[in-house]
């Protein structure tokens, strides 16, 4: 029998998922095309800095959840059974439409960006910003898994009751909030 998970762990894992998704949304909405391409909506040093900071935080949070196997909040610390881990990884590969080799390459892309450009400024001359669609799908799936496999009453406690029920809805709300913020800046 698997021991019950510490509610503080579930809370932090859930918060990391929310932080990652929110920062992806804010990063994307900062561009004209809202997919991370095109010109920045706020083409100032302030706009570029805040936008890139959102990317950096999104990648950092995502790596805590997926790329660092020894990290305190890696998904395998929630899904403890090896068969369940294999099943979850299979679901993740289907949801992201990535092969196992592609998944390993994606993990490396995220780690390289984090290690070479966020955590350190190494000798690399070319920064490759990872595609964030895969990251989003991973976090959506993990959060749904956490919600489905944690006691319902856990998310009714004062420390967790304000967390979203569905992360894709939260992502869309963050996009809307970001759009409103940019619209307010440009009305001035």
Average the pLDDT over each of 28-42, 58-72, 93-107 and give the range with the smallest value. 28-42
Q: Which two tokens stand for residue 52?
A: 């890139």
First to last CA, the chain: 60
62 has a pLDDT exceeding 50: yes
pLDDT value of position 35:
83
Name the maximum alpha-carbon separation found in the chain: 60
Average the pLDDT over each of 11-20, 40-49, 61-70, 154-163 and give the range with the smallest value. 154-163
Q: What are the residues facing 31 on neighbouring strands?
A: 40
6 has a pLDDT exceeding 90: no
pLDDT band at 4 (very low <50, low <70, confident <90, very high): low
182 has a pLDDT exceeding 60: yes
CA angle 83, 75, 171 (to 5 degrees): 125
Q: Which two tokens stand for residue 151?
A: 């006691």
Question: Rounded CA gap, 115 and 125, in Å?
Answer: 14
Backbone angles phi, psi at 132, to 5 degrees: -100, -5
**Of 16 and 183, the one with more pLDDT:** 16
66-106 pLDDT tens trace: 999 998 999 999 999 999 999 999 999 999 999 999 999 99
pTM above 0.85, yes or no: yes
Segment 118-146 mean pLDDT: 89
**Of 158 and 148, the one with more pLDDT:** 148
């Amino acid at each position: 029998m698997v021991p019950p998970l510490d509610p503080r762990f579930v809370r932090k894992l859930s918060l990391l998922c929310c932080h990652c998704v929110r920062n992806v949304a804010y990063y994307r909405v900062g561009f004209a095309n809202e997919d991370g391409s095109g010109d920045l909506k706020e083409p100032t040093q302030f706009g570029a800095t805040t936008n890139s900071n959102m990317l950096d935080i999104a990648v950092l949070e995502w790596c805590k959840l997926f790329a660092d196997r020894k990290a305190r909040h890696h998904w395998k610390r929630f899904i403890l059974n090896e068969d369940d881990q294999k099943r979850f990884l299979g679901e993740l590969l289907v949801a992201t439409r990535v092969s196992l080799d592609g998944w390993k390459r994606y993990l490396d892309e995220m780690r390289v960006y984090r290690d070479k450009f966020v955590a350190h400024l190494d000798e690399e001359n070319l920064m490759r910003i990872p595609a964030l669609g895969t990251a989003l799908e991973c976090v959506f799936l993990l959060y749904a898994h956490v919600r489905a496999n944690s006691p319902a009453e856990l998310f009714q406690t004062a420390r967790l009751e304000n967390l979203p029920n569905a992360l894709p809805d939260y992502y869309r709300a963050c996009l809307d909030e970001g759009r409103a913020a940019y619209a307010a800046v440009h009305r001035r």
